[in-house]
C-alpha cells in the first residue's frame, strides 16, 4: 500500500533566500502578482510557499520549500507592503504551473527535509557555544528580536537552523549543508566558523 499523502494547492514565491522550518523573515511585497498572493493567503487562511529561487529548474522553483504564515504586516515610508512571515512546515513542491499573471502555483505536501530538524536529539550538550553565540546575535539585533515571536533556544536543531540561515555563505552551500549532509557535519561546520573548533 502507498501512504496517503495530502496535497494542498498553494501559491509559490521563489526568492534568493534560504529559510528553514520555524524561521521568520520579513518580505517587501510590491509586484502585483505577489500582492495578489498575499491577499488570498490572508483571506483564505492558506498561507503561501516560500522557496529558494533556482537558476536551472522549471519556473525557478526548488524542490523543497516552506509553508509560510503571514503573522504581521506594515508599510514602509514609500507605502510598500512589508509582511512578517513564519515558516510553519517544510513542504515538497510538485506540479508547478503559472497563472495568467505569472504567479506560480503548485501541489505541496508535508516533507521531512531537512530530516535532522525533527529527528535529532534536542539536547544542547557539548554545543553550548552555539547556543550562547546565537543568543548574543539575537540580543545584539533588535530586528531579529522583533521578528521572532517565538524562540526555542532549548532545542539544538532550532539553533543550528537559525545559524544556517544567518551565516554569510551562498544559498547553494546552505542547501548542501541542510539537505545533503548529516547533522554531525552541519554542527562541525558551525563550530569551525563560530568558535574556530576543529571538532
Partner 1 sequence: MIKHHPSEDLLVQHCSASLNASLSLAVSIHLDMCPICQEKVAKIEAANANVVFNDKQVLSPNEDKDNLELLEEFESNVFDLITSDSGIDEVYEVEPVSIKVNAHDYQLPRALTRISHSKFTQVGKIARSRVALDDGALRSSLLHIDAGGEIPEHTHTGFEVTLLLDGEFSDEEGNYVPGDFIWQDGSHLHTPLTKDGCLCFTVVSSALHFNKGFSKLLNPIGNLIY
Partner 2 sequence: MVSQQQSPRCEPKTGKYTAMPDTPSTELMQSLIAVAESRDKKAFAFLFEYFAPKIKRFGIKQFGVEAQAMELVQETLTSVWRKAHLYNSSKGAATTWVYTVMRNASFDMLRKMKSNKEENISEDIWPLLNESQDTNHEYSDHLEDKQIKRYLDKLPIAQREVVRGVYFQDMSQEQLAMQLNIPVGTVKSRLRLALQKLRNEMGDQHD
Footprint of partner 2 (CB under 8 A)? 15-18, 25-28, 31, 53, 55-61, 63-64, 76-77, 82, 92-98, 102, 111-115, 133, 136-137, 140, 142-143, 165-170, 172-173, 175-177, 179-182, 184-185, 188-189, 192-194, 196
**Smallest gap from residue 3 Cβ to partner 2 (A):** 14
Query: Can you tell me the distance from the alpha carbon of 178 to that of 173, in angstroms, rounded to the nearest whole number?
Result: 8
Q: To 5 degrees, how large is the angle CA 19–CA 40–CA 63?
A: 35
Work out what residue 24 binds among partner 2, partner 1, none; the CB cut-off runs from 5 to 8 Å by kind. Answer: none
**Smallest gap from residue 21 Cβ to partner 2 (A):** 14
**Smallest gap from residue 127 Cβ to partner 2 (A):** 16
Site for partner 1 in 53-72 (CB under 8 A): 55-56, 60
Site for partner 1 in 17-56 (CB under 8 A): 55-56
**Smallest gap from residue 55 Cβ to partner 1 (A):** 6
Q: Which is nearer to partner 2, 125 or 198 (CB)?
A: 198
Output the DSSP codes for the chain: -PPP---EEEEEEEES----TT-EEEEEE-SHHHHHHHHHHHHTT--EEEEE--SSSGGG--SEEEEEEEEEEEE-TT--EEEEEEEEEEEEEEEEEE-TT--EEEEEEE---SHHHHHS----GGGHHHHHHHHHHHHH-HHHHHH-S---TT-HHHHHHHHHHHSSS-HHHHHHHHHSS-HHHHHHHHHHHHH----
**Smallest gap from residue 4 Cβ to partner 2 (A):** 17
Using CB under 8 A as the binding rule, whether residue 170 contacts partner 1 is answered as: yes
| Residue numbers at the binding site for partner 1 (CB under 8 A) | 55-56, 60, 170, 172
Amino acid at each position: 500500500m502507498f501512504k496517503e499523502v495530502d496535497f494542498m494547492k498553494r501559491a509559490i514565491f521563489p526568492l534568493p533566500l534560504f529559510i528553514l522550518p520555524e524561521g521568520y523573515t520579513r518580505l517587501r511585497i510590491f509586484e502585483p502578482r505577489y500582492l495578489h498572493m498575499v491577499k488570498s493567503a490572508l483571506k483564505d487562511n492558506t498561507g503561501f510557499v516560500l522557496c529558494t529561487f533556482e537558476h536551472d529548474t522549471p519556473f525557478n522553483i526548488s524542490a523543497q520549500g516552506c509553508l509560510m504564515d503571514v503573522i504581521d504586516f506594515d508599510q514602509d515610508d514609500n507605502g510598500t507592503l512589508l509582511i512578517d512571515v513564519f515558516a510553519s512546515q517544510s513542504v515538497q513542491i510538485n506540479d508547478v504551473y503559472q497563472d495568467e499573471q505569472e504567479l506560480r502555483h503548485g501541489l505541496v505536501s508535508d516533507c521531512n527535509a531537512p530530516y535532522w530538524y525533527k529527528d535529532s536529539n534536542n539536547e544542547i550538550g557539548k554545543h553550548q557555544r552555539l547556543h550562547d553565540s546565537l543568543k548574543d546575535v539575537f540580543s545584539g539585533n533588535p530586528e531579529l528580536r522583533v521578528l521572532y515571536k517565538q524562540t526555542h533556544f532549548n532545542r539544538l536543531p532550532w539553533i543550528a537552523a537559525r545559524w544556517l540561515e544567518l551565516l554569510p555563505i551562498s544559498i547553494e552551500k546552505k542547501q548542501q549543508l541542510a539537505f545533503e549532509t548529516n547533522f554531525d557535519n552541519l554542527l562541525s561546520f558551525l563550530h569551525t566558523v563560530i568558535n574556530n573548533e576543529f571538532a
